[in-house]
Amino acid sequence: MPIWFAYTLIVLLVITSVLLTMLILLHRGKGGGLSSMFGGGVSSSLAGSSVAEKNLDRYTVLVGIVWFACIVGLGLWLRLAMNT
């Protein structure tokens, strides 16, 4: 495989890592963890999740899948590069 493939995956990995970190930090704490220790447990609970929270969950899962695919792709590329 060409070297540009690895560089593309590395750039995509860095972008998705930063994006995934930001998306995870945007999630509202559900209580009972580190979020409640820092004051996140003092929130009023409304009935159900809002559309924005559901979309945030979807985006987080999508970026996580892309991040995982980049990790697997880099691992496979590295294995093929070492064998040649």
What are the extents of the domains in the chain?
A: 1-25+51-83
Residue 28, helix vs strand vs coil: coil
Distance separating alpha carbons of residues 65 and 23, to the nearest angstrom = 13
Distance separating alpha carbons of residues 53 and 28, to the nearest angstrom = 8
Q: What six digits make up the tokens of 52?
A: 């924005």
> Quick one: pLDDT at residue 80?
92
User: In the chain, what is the greatest distance between 2 CA atoms, to the nearest angstrom?
Assistant: 59
> Quick one: pLDDT at residue 51?
87
The per-residue pLDDT string of the chain (84 residues; one tens digit each, 9 = 90 and over) reads 789 999 999 999 999 999 999 999 988 776 544 455 565 555 555 545 688 888 999 999 999 999 999 999 999 999 999 987
> Quick one: pLDDT at residue 22?
93
> Quick one: pLDDT at residue 32?
47
- Cβ-Cβ contacts under 8 Å for 23 (sequence gap 6 or more): 56, 59, 60, 63
